[in-house]
Each structure stands twice: as structure tokens, then as C-alpha cells.
Amino acid sequence: MHRRLSSSALTTIASRHHYHSSQSVKPTTSHKPTRKPWEEVPFLTDLKQTEETEEALSLFHHYQQMGFRHDYPSYSSLIYKLAKSRDFDSVEQILLLVRNRNVRCRESLFMGLIQHYGKSNSVDKAVDVFNKMTSFDCVRTIQSLNTLINVLVDNRELEKAKAFVDGAKDMGLRPNSVSFNVLIKGFLERCDWEGAREVFDEMLEREVQPTVVTYNSLIGFLCRNDDVGKAKSLLEDMMVKRIRPNHVTFGLLMKGLCSKGEYSEAKKLMFDMEYRGCKPGLVNYGVLMSDLGKRGKIDEAKILLGEMKKRRIKPDVVIYNILVNHLCSEGRAPEAYRMLMEMQMKGCKPNAATYRMMVDGFCRTGDFDSALSILNAMLASRHSPTPATFVCLVDGLIKGGNLDHACFVLEVMAKKNLSFGSGAWRNLLSDICIKDGEGCCEALSEVIST
């Protein structure tokens, strides 16, 4: 079970932990010392600094050989680290130690393991962990069952997930709204409305109260599939059952109406929200602004921004990006830049998408110097343009005769390991050599070679 490292690796570990052997790590005796909650555990502190799983395992055994008594925090921290690195063979070895030494485990440990197995598409292992939980003197609750159900649904094992919900009673568990919501999500993801509706009906039969999440899943699916009428009937059903819709519920309905060209109805619904006790939020304004932008009515979208401010709803980066995107698409990059300045003055930080849209917007209008300025701001904010944006910018700078700045952009690309592709390279080289002759070709070749 104990993995051996090279002598140099062991020397590194030993030197790193030398001071613990004389101060923090003492041989175990028949009396088990009580550790105070605020005291640091040397093993856990050192485990955080390890990167390789073999080093973590060697560290674990190193402490054990020096007499350190590993308890639940030691085992769980090591297991989490191994599982995160997908070293599941070692996880199973440590779990055997845990069982043999009768270490009492918390449910959260196994829930975390189930999730890690799910991420690695090891569904059978996730099921096995759930089934073996009780052998570790750990009580299974609906939380661990829901974790497994979610993993199964995410891995497209919907029938298995349904079987676990159906068999919950045999395990002494009662499925809750989360259990059914996950199943409904699974059926809707594979476009099985009838299956989702059957789960919903079963939910009601078992007297499990649906939640706003339940209805939002169903309403969202119907709206995406152009059945806004049925979605509205579900909204009324929520009211009958006294389940309060939230701004997401109305946002989904509004988006469905907009996709059918019924903007006026969507806007009316936003104001009906308040009558139903739900204040409009960012998502609702975002739906309306996106629809206006797509139809070229950007000035109307900007009016909605002013309306938000009057209602003291603070726009976020998503709202600003909607405006920036459509302004740039319409060739109004200078206005988009003013929007960028405004959002920063209001304390809203641009994200990578904001900068990319601005660079592309200025390139579209042929203002490559401004595009370069935005690129510099973007790099300072530790964001990066797409290769397509780099291509457009370099091409524009070259055609404008600004070879120095073009070379700067190429150097940035090289540092970020980004490539144009052979076709784009040929076009760039052709433009340079035709315009500026052999000297510029040599300059560009030097940049490429570095």
C-alpha cells in the first residue's frame, strides 16, 4: 500500500518536515491527547503544500511512522486530494485503512467522492461508494442520495437515477423536491416532455411540494419550444399552489414571448410582475434589451438602461455587454466605448467578453489604433482576445502601415501560444511584402522566429 518515492523526493519531504519531528509530532501513547480546535495540525498544513499524489501518500506514511495518530481530518483531507487528482486506486487503499481502523466518517466525505467519480464518468464507482457508506458507520441521508442522482443524470444514466428515487423507501429515505427536480431536469435535457411531466405528477402523488425551481425548469422548456401558452398555464398553477414565481420565472416567459415577436406582451408582463409581488430584476431588463438590440433598436435599449437607474436597479456587466455588443455590431464603436467608460465609472468591471467586443468593434470600423488601445487595457486586466481578433487587428495595423504595433501584437500572441493558422499567415505575409518590401518581411520573420 505504501508507495515509494525516489531518494531525492524523500529527502525533500524529510527536510521540509524536520522541525515537526522534534516539536509538533510526538509518539502516540495509550492516552489520546485532545487537540484544541484552534491548534494547527502539522500533517494537514504540510499536505496542503504537496502537489503530487505520491508525495501526499509518502507524507501520510512518513507522519505515521513518526508516531502521529491520523484522525478523520487527516484521512478525509488526503482522500479529497487523491480524488481531485483522480488517483482512485489510492483512494480505495486509504478507504480500506479507514474501515479497518474504525474511523468514523461524515457523509460529506462520500458525497465529495461520488461527485469526483461522476466528473471522471465512473458512474459504477459512484454507485459503489453510495452503497458502501453504511459499512463505514456513516448514516446515509437524502443529501447523499440526491448527490448520486445528480451524478447519474449528468452522466445520462436517467433510468438508474429514477430507479434510485423509486427505491428510496427501501433505504429508509424519502425523496424531496431536489430529488424530483434533478429527474425533471434530466428528462427535459433529452427533450422528453412526457417523461418530465410524469415525474412532476409522481411528485404531487407522493405529496412532495414543487418549488419555483421545478416550475422554472418546465416553463423554460416550454418557452424554448414555442409553447408559451402552456407555460403561462403553469404560471397560473403556481399561483393556485401558492408558490411564488421569481424574476427568473418571468424572465423565461418574457424570452418566450420575444422569440415569438411579442415584445409588447413581454414588456407588459414585466410590469405585471410587481402586481404579483415580484420586482423586476436584471434578467428581465436583459431579455428586453437583447430583443431590442437584435432588431436594431439600440436607442430604445438605452432608454431601458435609464429606466433601470430610476428604479435603482444597478446594471451588471451582462447588461452593459448587451449594449456594447449591439452598438459594436451596428458600427457604433465610439458609443460602445463611452458605455465602457460609464460602466467602469459606476464600479462595474468589464470582463473578457466586453474587451473582445470592443476590439472587434473598432476593427470593424477600421480604427485599429483604438483597437490596440483596448487590447492593451485588456492585457492589463489579464484577459486575452481570441485568435480571430488578433488576426483582424494585425491585418489592420499592417495595412495601415503600423508595422511596429503589428509586431507587438504578434509578440503577445507568441507569449500566449496562439496561432493564426496557415491561411491567415500567408495573407499577412503577402500584405507586408507587397506594401513594404523585403525589410519588413525580415522584421516579421524575426518576430515569428522568436
pLDDT tens per residue across span 273-319 = 988 889 999 999 999 999 999 999 999 999 999 999 899 999 999 99
Q: What range does the domain containing 429 cover?
A: 386-450
The grid coordinates listed for 428 are 499577412
Structural domain total, the chain: 1
**At how many degrees (to 10) do helices 142-154 and 107-119 cross?**
0
CB of 109 within 8 A of CB of 77?
no
96 CB-contact burial (10 Å; exposed 0-12 / middle 13-18 / buried 19+): exposed
- 219 assigned to some structural domain: no
Q: Whose grid coordinates read 445520462?
A: 156
- 423 assigned to some structural domain: yes
More confident residue, 194 or 442: 194
Is residue 354's pLDDT more than 80?
yes
Contacts of 380 (CB under 8 A, 6+ apart): none
- 396 assigned to some structural domain: yes
Type of residue found at 436: D
Average pLDDT over residues 263-276: 90
CA end-to-end span of the chain: 48
- 319 assigned to some structural domain: no
Q: How wide is the angle at C-alpha 119 spanned by C-alphas 114 and 123, nearest 5°?
A: 55
Total-model pTM: 0.80
CB of 148 within 8 A of CB of 126?
yes
Give the Cα separation of 84 and 47 in Å (integer). Answer: 14
Please report which confidence band the pLDDT of residue 434 belongs to, taking 50, 70 and 90 as the band edges: low
- 333 assigned to some structural domain: no
pLDDT tens readout for residues 7-62: 444 444 444 444 344 344 444 443 444 554 435 667 888 888 888 888 888 888 88
Nearest to 173 by CA among 130, 217, 118, 116: 130
What is the chain's mean pLDDT, rounded? 85
Q: How wide is the angle at C-alpha 262 spanned by C-alphas 259 and 264, nearest 5°?
A: 135
CB of 272 within 8 A of CB of 243?
no
What is the pLDDT at residue 423? 58
- 416 assigned to some structural domain: yes
- 406 assigned to some structural domain: yes
Q: Whose grid coordinates read 406582451?
A: 265
What is the pLDDT at residue 349? 94
- 394 assigned to some structural domain: yes
